[in-house]
Amino acid sequence: MTQKFHKYHGAGNDFILLDNRDGGFEPDKNTIRHMCRRRFGIGADGLMLLEESENSDFSMRYFNADGRESTMCGNGGRCIVLFAHSLGIISEKTTFGASDGYHQAIVLDAKTISLKMQDVTQVWQHQGNDVIDTGSPHYVQWVGDPDQVDIYTQGRTLRYDPDIFAGGVNVNFVKMVADRHIYIRTYERGVEAETLACGTGSVAAAISAHIRNRSDKSSYTLEARGGTLRVDFEDTGGNIFRNVWLTGPAEKVFEGTFAAFTAKR
C-alpha cells in the first residue's frame, strides 16, 4: 500500500502534507515519526493533514516530528493554504479550521501567503523574559547574539521547565538588529531541535519587542535562518493584540509516494 504526499516549506520550516479529504490516512504516531525522520524517512519538521470541514473551506491537523498532534503552526498554516490553492479547493482568499479555531488567509502570489493568526491575549513573564501564547506557547529571551547561544542545550533546558509552561514551551532567542527588524532562532518542542523558522515564534517575538520598547510600531520584520517573515498586529491595550497577520514565503519542494512499513517502537 502506498500513500501520496507533498513536501512544502515556509522559510525553511518544512512539512509533509497529505490530502486526507477521503479520510483514508489514519494518523499513527510511529508512522508519522518515521515519515518525518530525516535520512530514514521523507524528512520534515512536521506533518499536516488537509481534511474536510463543515464550516470552512478545509481543516488543518498538525503533527510534530515526534508523531504527536500539536497546536497551531504558523508556517505550516501558510503552506497548507498554498497546498489547498494548488488542489483547486480555494482561490486567493480562504477561511480554514485549525486546532485553535478558524483562520483567514490570502494568497498574495505563487510563493507568498498572508495568514491571520488568533488574537493574542495571554502574555506573562518568567524570570524577566516574556511568555506569549500565539496559538502555541512561546518563551522569548532577548540576547546579545543568538548565534552565540547553544540553541540545542539552552533551548532544551527551557523547553522542559515546568515553571514556564506545564506542557512544555517553544523557546526563541532574539535580537533587535534594526528598527522593527528582529533576528530570531527557535528551538521547537515536538521537533526537539532548532527549526530554520517558526511562524508562531515570530509573532511572539514581534509582540515582545513591541511591549518591551513601549513602541507605537505594529509591523516587524523577522529574519530567521531559513528566510524572512513579516508580522503585523493591532495593540488594543492591556496586552491584548488583535488583527495579527503573519506573511512570508511558502513553496512546494516535491511530491511522491511512500510505502507502508513496520515501525520500530
Domains of the chain listed by start with CATH number: 2-111+251-259 (3.10.310.10), 122-249 (3.10.310.10)
CA distance 186 to 192: 10
Burial of 254 (0-12, 13-18, 19+ CB in 10 A): exposed
Rounded Cα distance between 261 and 265, Å, is 12
CB neighbours (10 Å) of residue 54?
A: 6
pLDDT tens-digit series, residues 25-44: 999 999 999 999 999 999 99
For the stretch 53-104, pLDDT in tens is 999 999 999 999 999 999 999 999 999 999 999 999 999 999 999 999 999 9
Contact 13, 199 (CB under 8 A): yes
For range 163-184, the mean pLDDT: 95
Residue 259 banded pLDDT, cuts 50, 70, 90: confident
Helix and strand element counts for the chain (H, E): 4, 17
Question: What are the phi and psi torsion angles at 19 (to 5°)?
Answer: -80, 100
> At residue 150, does pLDDT exceed 70?
yes
Single pTM value for the model:
0.95
Q: How confident is the model at residue 216 (pLDDT cuts 50, 70, 90)?
A: confident
Is 36 among the catalytic positions?
no
- Crossing angle (nearest 10°) for helices 199-212 and 74-86: 130
pLDDT tens for 118-136 read 999 999 999 999 999 999 9
Told to judge if 198 belongs to the known catalytic residues of this protein, a careful annotator would answer yes
Indicate the pLDDT class of residue 171, thresholds 50, 70 and 90.
very high
pLDDT over 70 for what percent of the chain?
Answer: 97
Q: How confident is the model at residue 8 (pLDDT cuts 50, 70, 90)?
A: very high
Q: Strands 13-19 and 101-109, how do they pair?
A: unpaired
Q: For the purposes of burial, counting CB atoms within 10 Å of the CB of 10, is it exposed (0-12), middle (13-18) or buried (19 or more)?
A: buried
Q: Rounded to an integer, what distance in angstroms lies between the CA atom of residue 21 and that of residue 160?
A: 35
The active-site residue out of 16, 73, 81, 229 is 73
* Bridge partners, 150 (sequence order): none
What is the structure's pLDDT at 3?
87
C-alpha separations of 76 from 12, 20, 184 in Å: 11, 16, 18
Please tell me which residue in 198, 206, 246, 250 is annotated as part of the active site.
Answer: 198
For residue 262, is pLDDT > 70? no
Burial tier of 43 (Cβ tally within 10 Å: 0-12, 13-18, 19+): middle
* Residue 237 phi, psi (nearest 5): 95, 155
Q: Name which residue leads in pLDDT, 8 or 217.
A: 8
Q: Round to whole Å and give the CA distance between 102 and 120.
A: 14
* CA dist., res. 40 & res. 17, Å (int): 18
- Sorted by sequence, the CB contacts under 8 Å of residue 104 that are 6+ apart come out as 93, 94, 95, 115, 116
Residue 263: its pLDDT value, please? 46
Rounded mean pLDDT of the chain? 95
Query: For position 260, what pLDDT does the model report?
Result: 66
pLDDT at position 144 over 60: yes
Q: What is the DSSP letter of 227?
A: E
